[in-house]
Amino acid sequence: MSKLWQGFKRVIFWSYERGSWPYDVMVIAIVIFVLLSPPRWFHDQPQATALASSAVEFLSEDPVSRTSTYRLDAKVLPSEKRSVKPTPELERETHDILGKSVEGLKGQTFQVRRIEPVRADDGSVAYYDVTIHQ
């Protein structure tokens, strides 16, 4: 029983020398497990921001100045990034969200020109009107 316990301890604490046959067997077992395990066992997919179709709304376009304005629901932003005043973090977040969710902006370069918060009745920010330049 003691030998079995010692073997179990060595496997758990990975105390075999590199290049020994028990070490090689453990490495092969791990590789087989990784390659043959079904993907449904692990749900480690990157969690993309689930943007509802109503999270970003097109408001207006000015072809002369090549600007467009979108209304972005404040709920899609992390709470620590929401701000009443435009900050570099808020600008970066809105740029990323618009670039991922607006079909005409995917893969395009654009610049956030203006961010105007639209307040709810309770004083919190409900939306951001984001003006971009293409």
For the segment 47-99, what is each residue's pLDDT rounded down to a tens digit? 554 554 568 888 888 889 889 999 988 888 877 777 778 788 888 888 888 88
Instruction: Give the C-alpha separation, 3 to 54, whole Å.
Output: 64
Q: Which structure tokens are listed for 87?
A: 């900050």
Beta-carbon neighbour count of residue 127 at 10 Å?
19
68 with 60: CB under 8 angstroms? yes
- Contact partners, residue 10, CB within 8 Å, separation at least 6: 16, 22
pLDDT band at 106 (very low <50, low <70, confident <90, very high): confident
pLDDT recorded at residue 120: 86
Mean pLDDT rounded to a whole number for the chain: 83
| Mean pLDDT of the region 101-120 | 86
pLDDT recorded at residue 132: 92
Residue of 78, 103, 102, 107 lying closest to 90 (CA atoms): 78
pLDDT band at 45 (very low <50, low <70, confident <90, very high): low
- Contact partners, residue 18, CB within 8 Å, separation at least 6: none
Nearest-Å Rg of the Cα atoms of the chain is 26
pLDDT recorded at residue 47: 53
- Contact partners, residue 54, CB within 8 Å, separation at least 6: 73
pLDDT recorded at residue 54: 61
Residue of 124, 92, 105, 121 lying closest to 58 (CA atoms): 105
Q: Residue 6 pLDDT more than 90?
A: no
pLDDT band at 44 (very low <50, low <70, confident <90, very high): low
